[in-house]
Structure 1
Amino acid sequence: MATHGARRSNVRPLRPVVITGGAGFLGANLADRLAGEGVPVVVLDSLARPGVELNLEWLKERHGKLVAPVIADIRDAEAVAETVRNARAVLHLAAQVAVTTSLEDPVHDFEANARGTLNVLEALRRQNDPPPLLFASTNKVYGKLFGASALGRSRSRWEPRREEHKQGCDEATLLDFYSPYGCSKGVADQYVLDYARVFGLPTLVFRMSCLYGPRQFGNEDQGWIAHFLIRALRGEPITIFGDGRQVRDALYVDDAVSAWLAGLHGIDRLRGRVFNLGGGPANTLSLLEMLEHVERLTGRAPEVHFDEPRPGDQLWYVSDTRALEQATGWRARIGLEAGLERLTVWLRRHVVPERSGKAAAAAFREARA
């Protein structure tokens, strides 16, 4: 494996890194970085999410035999066990990813997120020498965090009233699962940590905030930054749930990939730990502020509709990433303006080309290139 400071003892020659959900947004970017360094990658994905088949074709065309697809569902314990049997590491991203979908079908949400993660953990526990497992958790495990009384409201955003909160939420923040999605991901999060503590598996958890960047086919339920840009570029209205002052920290996907690989390469030191991963206080924006970016980047003010707030929505969430920075030397290096510019360029080229008819269809197919 290409090093980034890794010790040779962590390398398992010829064995692949398995990425569950590897055709998704973050998974495809992780697979691309690893394969670009000569590391064989197995992409386990059910291809259920619209657009991800384009990511898989893109990976295959870029890297050929270094990327091996396994089309299977994370709920299939037998398929999971067979796929991870010879892995040098497992990056577990496969999940049901939307709060809204979890409200519509809590059983499916639990089976995908909680049971699917347990399938991966059990498959690894049965091995004589279990490989590292890195897990994609979420900031939703912290629940709503702040009510309106603990926050101040400006023209465009909510902000904590207490100064010590403005650095963001650290890993000591109390867990408060909210919504079926928060519960299922929270259960998985705790199982991954407990399998390190009880069974000695080399596991690591990232509780992630908003990620954005190329290969993201955002929709209303997940990937909101890309979704806003896609809707505006198509001249379609944007719906905001709540007052639009909700604040998140946003992390460009290249920085997220670097954080995951820093965690993988330092797994001997970091096993059993959890890290919050996001853009941090320097890279925050509200939904209303994102609309201003959209107008600047697309040259048009989008039509906006407002609807009722969604259950479990956090009025303010910002990641305190200092623990990860101190443990690995990682930093978020791509700021919001630069990252949003890069995403807009990619969306114009691959998702919403400024052409019509056959030319537009051909340009959309360039997403495979």
Structure 2
Amino acid sequence: MMRARSQRPILITGGAGFIGTNLADALAAEGRDVLVYDALLRPGVEANLDWLRRRHPARVSAVVADVRDTASLAAAAGEAAAVFHFAAQVAVTTSLVEPTTDFEVNLGATLHLLEALRRRPDPAPLVFASTNKVYGDLADLEFRREGEAYRPVDERLHRHGIGEDRRLDFHTPYGCSKGGADQYVLDYARSFGVPTCVLRMSCIYGPRQMGTEDQGWVAHFLIRALAGEPIAIYGDGYQVRDILHVADAVAAYRAALARIDRVSGRAYNLGGGPANAVSLRQVLDAIRDLVAHPLDLSFHDWRAGDQRYYVSDTRAAAADLGLAPPIPWRTGLGDLARWLGEARGLAPATEQPRRRIAAAVSSA
């Protein structure tokens, strides 16, 4: 017999990953049972799961399996009170080398998960981690360079960012697989009444992020700088992103689930917004100040589908999800540096950023 929803765990696919681990920690801390579903394929995620189990031994359980294992995925979904779906192939570069795998993990597994929920007599809500890549390379927009960053010619775009009304334009196999999954998730709310919400993320950063050249560039840059290792820049470094601390992302995911009856079938852009819009060069300048030594930089050709400018219009998400203003990016960068010092011995610990971030988490 299926347990009452209040007694069931919250399922987090990719729950040992960067955002999934932070979300699992927040949910378990407030007394929710969490089921982490993860294949543990990415370096470092096994340590994240061990950390969660040590912190919340009575609250966190795990299924070590691939999302392409449809039987295991359906079994986990069948007992879930709600689902946060983070599991994915996350690199554009990998999708260009292995497009079939990219499709199977990002789109195929999402469809199987939706089907498992649809077959239940009481479909559990699902909140899906999508990406700003669904909007393509934005090559039709005009930009000019001002100082260390690109700036849109359109002043409305500069003030507010890219809105959800922007047309979808999938580039690269990764963009196609994530974009297709994004649309399936929305349609299962329309066609089948499965409560779903999509968050199209910009660049999320913060503690427990491993940071590689293909994913998690803020952490990657900081790790390389702290270790005194060279940093490769693809493009000219003036490209702009709106970066968001993971504490703010966790607050948004929790709010989407709490308000699922009101936001089901909706997609929201989630990022730092114009207040946290910053170029790669500006982040590197701030990192240089943090590490107090010159950085070893090299520049390379642009990568496929890369956007010269992407900033999220976050007004709809802030209004509908009740989100607080995001943590300022320099404060968040200091917090990440502190965590790297504590977790990896790459920098001395500092307390002031930690207090600011802890306050943001506790108020989420």
1:318 maps to which residue? 311
Q: CA separation of 1:336/1:354 partners in 2, compared to 1, >3 Å: closer, same or farther?
A: closer
Matches of 1:31 and 1:311 in 2, distance apart? 33
TM-score by length of 2: 0.93
TM superposition shift of 1:354: 5.7
What's 2:152 paired with?
Answer: 160
Which SS does the other structure have where 2:54 is aligned?
helix
Does residue 189 (structure 1) correspond to residue 208 (structure 2)? The answer is no
Which residue, out of 166, 175, 178, partners 2:168?
175
Rounded to whole Å, the distance in 2 between the matches of 1:266 and 1:20 is 20
- Unaligned runs of 5+ residues in structure 2 are 349-364
Q: How far apart, in 1, do the equivalents of 2:127 and 2:345 lie? A: 33
Q: CA deviation at 1:280?
A: 0.3
- State the shift of 1:16 in Å: 0.4
Are 2:70 and 1:85 equivalent residues in the alignment? no
Q: 1:352 offset after TM fit, Å? A: 4.1
Which residues of structure 1 form unaligned runs of 5+?
A: 1-10, 356-369
Superimposed CA distance per residue, residues 124-161 of structure 1 (whole angstroms, 9 cap, x where no aligned partner): 011000010000000000001135x7100123111100
2:294 is the alignment partner of 1:334: no
Give the paired residue count: 344
**1:230 equivalenced with 2:230 (yes/no):** no
1:306 corresponds to 2:299:
yes
Contact 1:20-1:43 within 8 A present in 2 as well: yes
TM-score (norm 1): 0.91
Partners of 1:335 and 1:80 lie apart in 2 by 37
Q: Secondary structure at the match of 1:325?
A: helix
Aligned pair in 2 of structure 1 residues 154, 97: CA closer, same or farther (>3 Å)?
A: same
Aligned pairs for 1:28-177 (under 5 A) are 28-147=21-140, 150-166=142-158, 167-177=160-170
The alpha-carbon deviation at position 324 of structure 1 amounts to 1.0
- CA shift, 1:217, in A, is 0.4
Asked whether the equivalents of residues 233 and 352 of structure 1 are also in contact (C-alpha less than 8 Å), the reply is no
Cα distance in 2, alignment partners of residues 285 and 352 from structure 1 = 27
Question: Percent identity between the aligned chains?
Answer: 56
Whether the 8 Å CA contact 2:14–2:38 is kept in 1: the answer is yes
What is the one-letter code of the residue matched to 2:135?
Y
- Kept in 2, the 8 Å contact 1:97–1:222? The answer is yes
List per-residue Cα deviations over 1:54-106 (Å, max 9, x = no partner).
11000000000210010000111111000111110000000000101111111
User: Are the aligned partners of 1:234 and 1:352 in contact in 2 as well (CA < 8 Å)?
Assistant: no
Give the Å deviation of 1:331.
2.3
8 Å contact 1:20–1:91 — kept in the other structure?
yes
**Residues 13-56 of structure 1: CA distance to partner in whole angstroms, max 9, x if unpaired?**
22100000000000000000000000000000001111111110
Separation in 2, partners of 1:130, 1:296: 50
Shift of 1:300: 1.5
**2:254 is matched with which residue: 256, 261, 265?**
261
- Aligned-CA RMSD value: 1.2
Contact 2:337–2:347 at 8 Å: present in 1 too?
no
